[in-house]
Amino acid sequence: MTFSSDFNSFLDDLRSTHGENLVSVMIYGSAAKFENPKKEDVRMVIALETISPDDLRKAHAAMREWTKVGYEAPTYFTANEMATSADVFPIEFHHMTRARRVLWGRDLLADVTVGNANLRHQIEFDLRSKLIKLRREYIAASNSAQKLGELMAASLPSFVSTFRALILLKGEEPPIARPDTVRKLGAICGVDFEPFEKIFSIRENGINPGFDEGKANGLFADYLVEIEKVIKAVDSIG
């Protein structure tokens, strides 16, 4: 990877903040496969030998600068948690073990194997939790095409991340691009790609002037129908 100045500065800050307690810094998921990933795609894990409130408090300034330029705040694990938590977080560890790039320190996942025993349950839990949250947020946004478009565009990547895990559970390889992931899921679970395609367009191009409140509410209804189809497909796996 050709590091941007953002990454170089952040790694310097982390080494200065955590010193010898810093074990590993890595990015995972689609961002690990590209030389110049989009900021919104960067998922980072920081591993320390031990984590105390003081360690996290010291990281405040580095995190403030990192998120200020548009990146998501990293997730902190201890080195031991990285080695022992795959059964608790199978979706995340599937993503990490399949596509990661170590930016500094040791590759703590080199010997970690992620099984599927708990994967179906986490997929269903994640999808149902995200659906419940989406319904709740819809109430406040329902009378504004702008707010509804923004809500759908913001929620879609999180669903796609779980869709990738479902494709893995089905024994298939998930594509890197988000639209391709949904298309493949459609072939597996009978999901209509059209509502997702419209939301991807909003993410890429913004909200069309003709996208009024009626169209926004109609698209949201279609979006929920397709998500519910996916949940039923997961539930049927048993």
Q: Which of 83, 105, 127 is the last residue of a domain?
A: 105
Output the DSSP codes for the chain.
----HHHHHHHHHHHHHHGGGEEEEEEEGGGGG-SS--GGG-EEEEEESS--HHHHHHTHHHHHHHHHTTPPPPEEEEHHHHHH-TTTSHHHHHHHHHSEEEEEE--TTTT----STTHHHHHHHHHHHHHHHHHHHHHHHTT-HHHHHHHHHHHHHHHHHHHHHHHHHTT-PPPSSHHHHHHHHHHHH---SHHHHHHHHHHHH---TT--HHHHHHHHHHHHHHHHHHHHHHHTT-
Q: Which of 65, 80, 105 is the last residue of a domain?
A: 105
The CATH number that applies at residue 34 is: 3.30.460.10
Residue 58 belongs to a domain: yes
Where the chain has pLDDT below 70, the residues are: 1-4, 35, 238
Domain identity same for 95 and 187: no
Q: Please tell me the predicted confidence (pLDDT) of residue 3.
A: 52
pLDDT tens digits for 202-222?
999 999 889 999 999 999 999
Q: Please tell me the predicted confidence (pLDDT) of residue 5.
A: 78
Domain identity same for 96 and 128: no
Q: Which of 105, 133, 150 is the last residue of a domain?
A: 105
Q: Please tell me the predicted confidence (pLDDT) of residue 238.
A: 65
Domain identity same for 138 and 224: yes
Q: Quote the number of domains for the chain.
A: 2
Residue 112 belongs to a domain: no
Domain identity same for 230 and 131: yes
Domain identity same for 16 and 81: yes
How many CA atoms does the CB half-sphere of 189 hold within 13 Å? 30
pLDDT tens digits for 171-199?
898 888 899 999 999 999 999 999 999 99
Domain identity same for 88 and 162: no
Domain identity same for 31 and 92: yes
Domain identity same for 147 and 230: yes
Residue 110 belongs to a domain: no
Residue 113 belongs to a domain: no
Residue span of the structural domain in which 80 resides: 5-105
Residue 168 belongs to a domain: yes
Domain identity same for 126 and 206: yes
Domain identity same for 98 and 158: no
Domain identity same for 126 and 200: yes
The CATH number that applies at residue 230 is: 1.20.120
Domain identity same for 78 and 151: no
